[in-house]
Structure 1
């Protein structure tokens, strides 16, 4: 793990932003986390209950000197980091998180304790650790890892388009008249993967899977799994500061979100780009 940043002070005023999804899915854990933070903090605690992403972002922008604490799932954590990155305030901020919700694997993988009491205690007693970040050429961020091919697009889809209800009605009618074909597993992709300008695999080699994650020392860990005559070929590994993937339209899974389709995307490692409060030791 990277060298520690200046320790987070428990006496510093806190801004506790409680994501609405966390309040809906696990109100008891939210209450416990709030009670621990308010009872044990050495400074004032301001509780913010945003109703949606816009209010969530507004609360972070108006935090002043308060240290932000996000109570929510991986998407809430990613939303906070993305906002601070776009505002160019990520490097100067120390972020804390209490994982609450159905998807908290990312936060736990970064070292945040599981459970509201342990996580809230780490917010107050822990230390800020500098972590690497992957930033893509559209200014998107990746905290953990990304994978290509991504999961089906429907899993990461946002709000349905305006014509969605009518389309679903037509689809429902068609399904009553025509037996649908069985679902097929996605086949290998044709991608060019470059690590620091060196081509690991080109478009003439089918690829079953590509994964990129941050490693120590400001490098990304790259793994490419090509296919050969329908069978898995030995995986290719590399360490690089910049990773570029290009080819026919592809989607990718970055942390808790599915993005794309794109024809090319470059990710660059930013060493020690952000600070997260983690348990000491």
Structure 2
């Protein structure tokens, strides 16, 4: 892993939040858009009191760089995959509550970072790291200790051939072969809409056994109360961490968009069970599993977002 020597700036325009940064540049970002990476490093080095840049060649070196961050504030330069890897690592080591993250989105898969409110340009995103403010955000933790930042989708919203889907080799396989991983009145809705648009062209993943056709047969429970049972076919399920420590749950009947309305609920614990099914957590397709439970952790992680 290459490391760039610490640099310092005495510019009078240095941010009021100037501090020591550990800039971890994901290898995928370097290959996908080296110019944006260079711009981000230049802006961060000029605006912070000191920066240390690490250029890991793979997930293991990426993890090692974060673990050795010391008192420096970590800044991840990469796409959704790099952000998810960083959050999962910090969660696994029970350091997520005490370590806020900053992200400069660069790379091929950026739907999650956009839905979280991060700027898309390298200059704007780097300046947000320097001048922005940390916000505490809810996340979902499943019963295999995997984390979800944006949404869980089962059915048409869990397409396994969408170009943004991937399986992270840095995540440990969980039970059943799965892999861990001011706002408007309903801030979760923007995330739902963004993910649905991104995945609209994906091939559906059914909860039924391979070769079976028709809607899925799933039991969905919210805080122990059954929202839909196995005798009621469903077209899809969406679970999104909302605000105030609760998740927003939407179950779509087979006639979605025609005659039937979706079933909705809010709660802290969501359990889905039934025939073996796959699901998409953020950009990661996981499964098949027979049951999975997600619990909301309120304010579990911090992300630097643009001020105001």
If the length of structure 1 is used for normalisation, what is the TM-score?
0.84
Check whether the contact 1:70–1:97 (CA below 8 A) recurs between aligned residues: yes
Tell me, what secondary structure is at the counterpart of 2:138? Answer: strand
Match of 2:37 in 1: 30
Shift of 1:233: 2.9
Out of 252, 259, 265, the residue aligned to residue 238 of structure 1 is 265
Q: Does 1:72 align with 2:99?
A: no
Q: Does 1:11 align with 2:18?
A: yes
Shift of 1:265: 0.4
Q: Does 1:151 align with 2:159?
A: yes
For residues 53-108 of structure 1, what are the alpha-carbon distances to aligned partners after superposition, in whole Å with 9 as ceiling and x for unaligned? 00000000000101000000001000000000000000001100000011112112
Tell me, what secondary structure is at the counterpart of 2:295? Answer: strand
Match of 1:250 in 2: 277
Q: 1:257 to 1:232 in 2, by over 3 A?
A: farther
Shift of 1:237: 0.4
Shift of 1:12: 2.1
Match of 2:172 in 1: none
Unaligned runs of 5+ residues in structure 2 are: 1-14, 170-202, 207-213
**Superposition CA RMSD, Å:** 2.1
Match of 2:220 in 1: 193
Distance 1:268 1:9 in 2: 37
Check whether the contact 1:225–1:232 (CA below 8 A) recurs between aligned residues: no
Match of 1:180 in 2: none
Q: Which moved more, 1:29-38 or 1:101-110?
A: 101-110
Which of 1 and 2 has greater Rg? 1
Tell me, what secondary structure is at the counterpart of 1:65? Answer: coil
Shift of 1:9: 7.0
Match of 1:47 in 2: 53
If the length of structure 2 is used for normalisation, what is the TM-score?
0.77
Distance 2:132 2:166 in 1: 33
Q: Does 1:114 align with 2:124?
A: no
Check whether the contact 1:73–1:104 (CA below 8 A) recurs between aligned residues: yes
Q: 1:118 to 1:185 in 2, by over 3 A?
A: closer
